[in-house]
């Protein structure tokens, strides 16, 4: 690779993976606009070296290699689970590390789970990433790089979920830029309707998304609709109360006409009682939603319990009685701490060579 920074060593060379074609032309002072499209297409195809861009002149490739990087990050640890999940740690130029995950469902469909921040400031007590603390927002290039790495090795991938490390609505400018790059017709050309953004419930961010896009699918990590239950689990409830969150979702639905996914991390003995279902029913009144049930995944050092099979069945029966639509997320990636709530967990198990 050309002039990629060693992990932990900041590179003075700017990356091009976070730029659109016209921006590449301007940043690289190119004589011809089509050269920006050429470079953009090569990056989208997975080229991590200017030397691979064979339809560019040798002199231009040499100039680019001396002045720019293709990507802003390098591949670190790689962990593979038997269910097809792969978690990859990317080393950033400043020494930070961020994780992305390849998810494969029972029908073989592949999804990239991307991170938007290093760590997370939300502090959800059942989530490993939330307990790491917050380092910084990711740049657009660092978000795009995650998809490029996964797509180059396991693609083509059609689906993206912003459900990795961090709160995407706190880094919305960079997320918007990354989505613009990944959906650009001269590059990967992904459909925005195959991209899901998951938030812990930032009211102003949801309204901003409704007003200014991008037009992607919205998922909200609700977990509980009773403030007495949700607040200790998700401290964001104090600054973004459930009534205000509900009004923001109604506003989003009115503006976009889209169905919203409400995610509920189910914790044994914590949020699976009849009263929790009653609170959910009241919260979703007037909303077009589907509940995505996520049995809590064990994290070392946390005292929570996974819900029992009977507990899950009883909870689902109560949802059915209340007329609440739901799906249950398949539990994949737990062998490499790549499942929901586990990112940032240090493991020694490595993938086969």
Q: Tens of pLDDT along 244-303?
A: 999 999 999 999 999 999 999 999 999 999 999 999 999 999 999 999 999 998 888 888
- Tell me the CATH architecture of domain 200-329: Alpha-Beta Barrel (3.20)
Task: Give the full edge-to-edge strand order of the sheet including 86-92.
Answer: 73-80, 86-92, 97-104, 110-113, 159-162, 195-199, 217-221, 260-266, 289-295, 326-328
Quick one: which of 219, 205, 80 has its CA closest to 159?
Answer: 219
Of the residues 28, 99, 127, 316, which is catalytic?
99
CB 81 within 8 A of CB 335: yes
pLDDT at 344 over 50: yes
User: What is the mean predicted confidence (pLDDT) over 138-143?
Assistant: 98
Burial of residue 132 (CB within 10 Å: 0-12, 13-18, 19+) is middle
pLDDT at 329 over 70: no
pLDDT at 136 over 90: yes
Q: How confident is the model at residue 333 (pLDDT cuts 50, 70, 90)?
A: very low
* Residue 136 parent element (H or E): strand 134-137
Q: Could you state, in order of their start, the residue ranges of all structural domains in the chain?
A: 200-329
- Kindly report the pTM of this predicted structure: 0.90
Q: How confident is the model at residue 106 (pLDDT cuts 50, 70, 90)?
A: confident
pLDDT at 326 over 80: yes
User: What is the mean predicted confidence (pLDDT) over 46-57?
Assistant: 96
pLDDT at 324: 95
pLDDT at 7 over 70: no
pLDDT at 167: 97
Of the residues 28, 100, 127, 340, which is catalytic?
340
Q: Is 99 a catalytic residue?
A: yes
């Amino acid at each position: 690779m050309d002039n990629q920074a060693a992990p932990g060593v900041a590179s003075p060379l700017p990356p091009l993976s976070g730029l659109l074609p016209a921006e590449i032309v301007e940043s690289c002072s190119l004589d011809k606009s089509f050269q920006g499209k050429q470079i953009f297409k090569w990056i989208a195809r997975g080229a991590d070296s200017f030397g691979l861009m064979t339809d560019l002149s040798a002199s231009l490739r040499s100039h680019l290699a001396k002045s720019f990087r293709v990507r802003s990050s390098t591949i670190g640890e790689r962990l593979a689970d038997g269910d097809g999940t792969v978690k990859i740690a990317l080393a950033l130029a400043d020494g930070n590390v961020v994780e992305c995950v390849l998810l494969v469902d029972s029908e073989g469909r592949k999804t990239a789970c991307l991170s938007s921040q290093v760590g997370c400031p939300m502090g959800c007590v059942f989530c490993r990433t939330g307990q790491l603390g917050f380092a910084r927002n990711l740049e657009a290039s660092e978000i795009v790089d995650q998809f490029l790495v996964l797509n180059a090795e396991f693609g083509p991938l059609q689906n993206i979920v912003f459900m990795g490390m961090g709160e995407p609505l706190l880094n919305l400018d960079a997320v918007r830029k990354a989505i613009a790059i990944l959906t650009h017709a001269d590059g990967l050309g992904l459909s925005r309707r195959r991209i899901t953004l998951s938030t812990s419930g930032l009211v102003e961010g949801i309204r901003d998304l409704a007003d200014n896009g991008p037009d992607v699918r919205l998922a909200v990590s609700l977990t509980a609709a009773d403030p007495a239950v949700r607040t200790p689990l998700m401290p964001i409830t104090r600054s973004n109360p459930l009534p205000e969150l509900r009004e923001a979702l109604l506003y989003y639905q009115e503006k976009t006409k889209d169905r919203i996914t409400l995610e509920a991390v189910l914790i044994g003995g914590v949020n699976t009682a009849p009263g929790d279902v009653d609170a959910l029913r009241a919260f979703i009144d007037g909303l077009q939603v589907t509940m995505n049930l996520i049995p809590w995944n064990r994290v070392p050092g946390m005292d929570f319990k996974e819900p029992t099979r009977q507990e899950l069945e009883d909870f689902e029966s109560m949802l059915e009685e209340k007329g609440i639509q739901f799906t249950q997320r398949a539990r994949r990636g737990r062998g490499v701490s790549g499942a929901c709530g586990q990112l940032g967990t240090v493991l020694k198990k490595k993938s086969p060579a």
